Amino acid sequence: MKALIIYDSAFGNTEKVAQAMGAALGCEVRRVTEMTPEQLTGLDALIVGSPTQKFQPLKPIKDFLKELPAGKLTGVRVAAFDTRVALADVNSAILNVFVKLFGYAAEPIGKRLTQKGGELAMPPEGFYVAGTKGPLKDGELERAAAWAGQIQQ
Ligand SMILES: Cc1cc2nc3c(=O)[nH]c(=O)nc-3n(C[C@H](O)[C@H](O)[C@H](O)COP(=O)(O)O)c2cc1C
């Protein structure tokens, strides 16, 4: 199975998650800014991840997905993830409301991937950081590796 993981990362946490997934799948891991849509050829599986900032993926991820030609991911198993802060750690009623309204980055990434023809292999998933700059919460790299493994089934 030829798989690829594409990510972006502001502080390095999403990169660590992507690398843990790449190690689990034995596949390439690339930062989105190093990629062109033409490089997505001959793939069986594609995982895309971004930090959640202002309830959304980072712009380079959004732009890359938007610019993919229609049908580019036909026949490809796809999955989307983000990193995020746990609501319980922020303890803000306002933020609770906004998150209910606007959610996290993984959902819109997953939608874009399926819009471009991909077949969602598992539901979008979020991995937790302890603070804006990290670190990742305990056990998240292991959880990420196990989650990514589902794309092979
Ligand atoms: C400007 C900014 C906006 C953010 N907005 C959100 C948000 O809407 N929801 C959330 O859960 N975390 C938010 N965060 C926290 C990020 O999700 C966190 O910094 C990220 O997961 C760290 O991953 P990275 O090291 O790969 O950048 C925000 C962080 C920044 C800097």
Q: What are phi and psi of 82, to 5 degrees?
A: -140, 170
At 153, is the pLDDT very low, low, confident or very high (cuts 50, 70, 90)?
confident
Distance 14 CA to ligand 1 centre (A): 10
Tens of pLDDT, residues 46-80: 999 999 999 999 999 999 999 999 999 999 999 99
Tens of pLDDT, residues 8-47: 999 999 999 999 999 999 999 999 999 999 889 999 999 9
**3-class secondary structure per residue, the chain:** CCEEEEECCCCCHHHHHHHHHHHHHCCEEEEHHHCCHHHCCCCCEEEEEEECECCECCHHHHHHHHHCCCCCCCCCEEEEEEEEECHHHHCCHHHHHHHHHHCCCHHHHHHHHHHCCCEECCCCEEEEECCCCCCECCCHHHHHHHHHHHHHC
Share of the chain above pLDDT 70, in %: 100
At 125, is the pLDDT very low, low, confident or very high (cuts 50, 70, 90)?
very high
pLDDT at residue 23, rounded to an integer? 98
Distance 8 CA to ligand 1 centre (A): 12
Nearest CA to ligand 1 atom 10: 84
- The residues, ordered by sequence, that sit 6+ positions from 129 with a Cβ below 8 Å of its Cβ are 13, 83, 84, 85, 135, 136, 137
pLDDT at residue 92, rounded to an integer? 86
| Residue 127 pLDDT greater than 90, yes or no | yes
| Mean pLDDT, the chain, integer | 96
At 91, is the pLDDT very low, low, confident or very high (cuts 50, 70, 90)?
confident
Ligand 1 neighbour 103 (Cβ under 6 A) = no
**For the packed helices 106-115 and 59-67, what is the interaxial angle rounded to 10 degrees?**
10
Ligand 1 neighbour 56 (Cβ under 6 A) = no
Distance 55 CA to ligand 1 centre (A): 8
